[in-house]
Structure 1
Amino acid sequence: MLTLVLLVASACTVVLARPSLNYLEEPYATESTQAGSEEVRSAAIKRLLAVFGMDDPPAAVTHRRKQPPQYMLDLYNTVADVDGVTKDPYLLEGNTVRSFFDKLRSEQVEFRFNLSTVARTEKILTAELHLFKLRPQATLMFNRHHFYQVSVYQLLDTTKTNTTQMRKLLSSRLIPVHSNGWEVFTITQAVRSWMVDEGNNLGLHVVVQTLGGSHMDLKLIRFASGRNHHQSKQPMLVLFTDDGQRRSTTLESADPDTQVTAILAQSPMAAPTSSRSARSLDHLAEEEGVSMPCRRLPLYVDFDEIGWSGWIVSPRGYNAYHCKGSCPFPLGQNMRPTNHATVQSIINALKLIKSIETPCCVPDKLFSINLLYFDDDENVVLKQYNDMVAGSCGCH
C-alpha cells in the first residue's frame, strides 16, 4: 500500500492512461466528463488517505488558533529534513508519536488524558508525562530546601480509603527548587494498563515532598496547569508507539492502479515547475525517436493542492520522485542493474525468446517520510511512513 506514489515506475511495459481531467482545462467539458473526473479524483484521494492509514481526513484546524507543541515541532525537525524525508530511520522510537493535553484542566496536580485515538493494535513503547515547572515566587526564593522529590502516581480506585490501594507509584526523582522548565516522567506502565482496559484510566496524581517526606508548599513548587497558563506550558502526555507497519525497505511488485497513478503523476497538484525541463526532454526524445536512459524524475505531491493544508502541519508537500527511461542492452553499471536484469537484457538482445522484454526502470532504493498533523481530537501526531520516496532508480 505504501508504494502507491511510486506506482508510476512499477511496470515499464505498460503505458499508463491519463484519466480525463479536461474539466480543469476546457471550459466546455460535458457534465458526464466532469462527473467521471470527479469520481477518479475522489477515488485517488481515498487511496492516498489509505496510504497514510486513514479512512477520512481529520477535521481542519485553524493553525493561527491552535499551535502544535514546541516539543513536537522540535522532534519533527530532528527526524526529518525540510521535505519530510527521514534523516535516519533509527532516530525515532517506533513510527508514531502523539501528544495529548490534560482533559481535566485542573488547578491541582491531577491529570487525565483521553487516549481513544490510539488503536489497541499499536504497541506502546514509551509514555512520558511532560510538566512545566514555574519559577518559585520571589518572596519564597530563600528557602532552606534546595531539592524536592516529585512522585507521579497512577490512580487506581478513588473509592478506596487506603492510600496504597488508591494509587501506584510510576516515577519519582529529585528536582532543584530554583529550576524552571520542562520536567519529564516516564509513565509507560500506566498507559499500557489503560490500553488493556479503558476503565483503568482514572488519571495521574503528582505529589511534591521534601527529602524528609513532608509535603512542600505548592506556592514554592509550582507546575503550569491547563487552566491558568499558556498552551505552550500546559501538561502533556507524549506517547511513542509502533503500529506494526515499520519494516525494512523492500521493492515489492504491485499491480499498477492507472487512475491513482495518473492523478498523482500528471494532475496539476503533482507538477512542480522544477520538473518542466525534465518533461521537455522527454517530449523532445519522443519526437526524435530517442529513448532516454533510466533515471529519476520529480513527482511532487502538494498537500495544499489536495486540500489537506488545514490539518497537516509539516511538510506542505514532498517530492516522491519516479523512475522513467529505457534499459537497453548492454546494461552499464550506471543503470544499477541486478544480475537477473543483465541476463534478461541479453536474452532480449539475442531474441532467444520472443516474449521477453527489456528490464524495467524502477526504484531500487526507497526512503520514508514523516508527517506532522492534527488528528480529529486536535492532538498532534508525528508519523513515519515507509517506502514513500524513490531514492534512486535502476534496471531490474
Structure 2
Amino acid sequence: SEEQEPEAVLHQRHKRSIDDDILVTKEDRREIANCNSILTFSSRPKLQKETQLGMHITFNTADVPHDLLLAQAMLRVYKQPSSLEQRQNFTVSIYRRIYSHQRGNNEDDDAVYRIVQSVNTTSSYKGWLEFNLTPTLQSWLLQKNYQQSRRHELRVAVDVAGLSGLEAGLVAPQQQARSKLEPYIVGYFNGPELLVKVQKLRFKRDLQKRKANLPSGQQRMDKMPSPEHYRPPQSCERLNFTVDFKELQMHNWVIAPKKFEAYFCGGGCNFPLGTKMNATNHAIVQTLMHLKQPHLPKPCCVPTVLGAITILRYLNEDIIDLTKYQKTVAKECG
C-alpha cells in the first residue's frame, strides 16, 4: 500500500496518493495562484491490436480559446496495486505520437512515438502518477488550426517485458462507463479576464436556435422591465443584483455557479459627499462645480471595490474550464 512507500519517494510531485495530504501540493497551489484559467482534458481509449502491450489514449484539444497562454500542463495516470512480485520496481513512460505529412495518419504499424517523460514506481503503489506534458500540449494547441478533426495520441508503457499497462495496475479510459480515475491532463493558463469568451460562446450556440424561433418577416423584441420595478435610493448605495445563467440561456454549459450575486450601485451622489461614500477628489470637485453650473452632471454612483467570480463550464464534451474573472462583483459603492 501507499503507507509502505519510502517517504522520500512518496513526497514527490510526480507521485501522489489519494489518501495522502499531498494530493494538492505546494507546486499545485503556486500554479493555481499564478493563473486564471484551469482546463481539464479527459482521455478517450484508442482501439488497438491485441499484440500491443502499451496503453494508447487520445485527447481532444479543440475549442481551446486562442487567447489563452499555457503556463504548465500535467498528465495524471492512476495506478492500482498490481499482481507483480511485492514492491517490484519498474518504470512507466509516456510516449507522444508523431504524425508525418509524408505518410498516412492511420498507418499504426509504422507509427512513430517520441518519449515525453518517465516515472519510477513499484508494484504495490496506489495513487496518481504525474508527468510534465507542457511542451506536448503546447505543440498540440499550435497544431489545432490545421488538425481540427484529429485526436492527439499518447502511449503509456512499462519497462517490464511482456507486461501490459493494465497488468501493471494502470487505469485506462473506458469507451462507455467513465471513471474518476481515468487519465486526464490539467493545464494552467493565463488569458483575458473578461466574460467575453462566455458571451461569445452563448451567442454562437444560440444564434441558430434564435433564428429558428423567429416568425417569418417579424423581429423579436425582448421584453423590457417596467421602470416601476426599480426605484433608485436617495443616496448612493449597493443594491442586490442576481445573475442567473439559466435566465441568460447559458445553463447548459455553465456547471457552477448556477447563479451569483453581482450587486450594482444606485442612488444619488448629493452634496455634501460624506466619507462613507468613498468619494474621490474628482467626484468632490465635480459636485462643487455642479452647484455653480447646474448644466454639469453630478457624479455617478459606481463600484469603488470589485471582487472576482470563478466559473466552471464545459468547452466541449472532453474539456472543462475553470476560470477566475476579476472585477465581476461590486463589493463597495461610491
TM-score, normalising length: structure 2: 0.67
The answer as to whether partners of 1:300 and 1:318 remain within 8 angstroms in 2 is yes
Counterpart in the other structure of 1:143 = 86
Indicate conservation of the 8 Å contact 1:105/1:225, yes or no: no
Asked if the contact 2:157/2:165 (under 8 Å) is kept, the reply is: no
Cα deviations by residue, 1:311-366 (Å, 9 ceiling, x for unpaired): 321101011100011111121111001111111112223x1x23222211101122
Matched to 1:301, the amino acid is V
Partner in structure 1 of residue 113 of structure 2: 167
2:133 and 2:250 map into 1 onto residues whose CA distance is: 34
Match of 1:209 in 2: 159
Contact 1:194–1:201 (8 Å) recurs in 2: no
**1:95 corresponds to:** 36
* Cα 1:124–1:262 shift into 2, 3 Å: farther
Report what 1:361 is aligned to. 301
Would the alpha carbon gap of residues 217 and 170 (structure 1) be closer, same or farther in structure 2, given more than 3 Å must change?
closer
| Paired residues of 1:296 and 1:322 also in contact (CA < 8 A) | yes
**Is 1:232 aligned to residue 180 of structure 2?**
yes
Q: What TM-score comes out, normalization by structure 1 length?
A: 0.57
| Alpha-carbon separation, structure 2, partners of 1:130 and 1:371 | 23
Matched residue SS, 1:195:
helix
Cα 1:294/1:373, change in 2 over 3 Å: same
Question: SS of the counterpart of 1:231?
Answer: coil
Conserved? CA contact 1:365–1:390, under 8 Å: yes
Cα 1:377/1:118, change in 2 over 3 Å: same
Higher relative contact order (CA 8 A, sep 6+): 1
Structure with higher strand content: 2
Confirm or deny that 1:153 pairs with 2:103. Answer: no
State the Cα distance separating 1:172 from its structure 2 match: 2.2
Q: In structure 1, list runs of 5 or more residues that go unmatched.
A: 1-70, 72-87, 160-164, 248-258, 272-278, 284-290
With over 3 angstroms needed to count, the CA separation of the structure-2 counterparts of 1:330 and 1:218, relative to structure 1, is closer
Tell me the residue number matched to 2:203.
none
Partner SS for 1:232: coil
* Cα pair distance change 1:227/1:201, threshold 3 Å: closer
1:390, distance to aligned residue in structure 2 (A):
0.9
In the TM superposition, residue 97 of structure 1 has moved relative to its aligned partner by 2.1
With over 3 angstroms needed to count, the CA separation of the structure-2 counterparts of 1:217 and 1:190, relative to structure 1, is closer
Aligned-residue Cα RMSD (Å) equals 3.7
Aligned CA distance change for structure 1 residues 266 and 143 (closer, same or farther; 3 Å): farther
Task: Give the CA deviation at 1:150.
Answer: 2.0
Q: What displacement does 1:295 show?
A: 0.8
Amino acid at match of 2:234: M
Give the CA deviation at 1:240. 2.3
The change in CA–CA distance for 1:261 and 1:366 in structure 2 (over 3 A counts) is farther
Q: Give the corresponding residue for 2:143.
A: 197
Q: For residue 115 of structure 1, what is the amino acid of its counterpart?
A: T
Q: Which residue of 1 aligns with 2:332?
A: 392
* 1:89 CA displacement: 12
How much identity, in percent, do the aligned residues show? 25
1:375 aligned counterpart, secondary structure: strand
Asked if residue 375 in structure 1 is aligned to residue 315 in structure 2, the reply is yes
2:44 is paired with a residue of what secondary structure? Answer: coil
Match of 1:127 in 2: 73
**Within-5 A mapping of 1:1-396:** 91-105=32-46, 108-137=54-83, 140=84, 142-143=85-86, 145=88, 147-157=89-99, 166-198=112-144, 202-209=152-159, 218=165, 220-227=167-174, 230-242=178-190, 244-246=191-193, 282=231, 292-349=234-291, 351=292, 353-394=293-334
**SS of alignment partner, residue 128 of structure 1:** strand
Q: Deviations over 1:293-324 (max 9, x none)?
A: 21101100122334433332110101110001
Distance in 1 (CA, whole Å) between partners of 2:239 and 2:316 is 35
- As a proportion of its length, which structure holds more helix? 1
Asked if 1 retains the 8 angstrom alpha-carbon contact of 2:40 and 2:186, the reply is yes
Alignment check: 8 A CA contact 1:224 1:234 kept: yes
Q: Provide the C-alpha distance between the structure 1 equivalents of 2:124 and 2:171, rounded to a whole number of angstroms.
A: 15
CA deviations 1:156-210 (Å, max 9, x no partner) are 2587xxxxx9333322222243121222211011111122224597521223236
The offset of 1:215, in angstroms, is 7.0
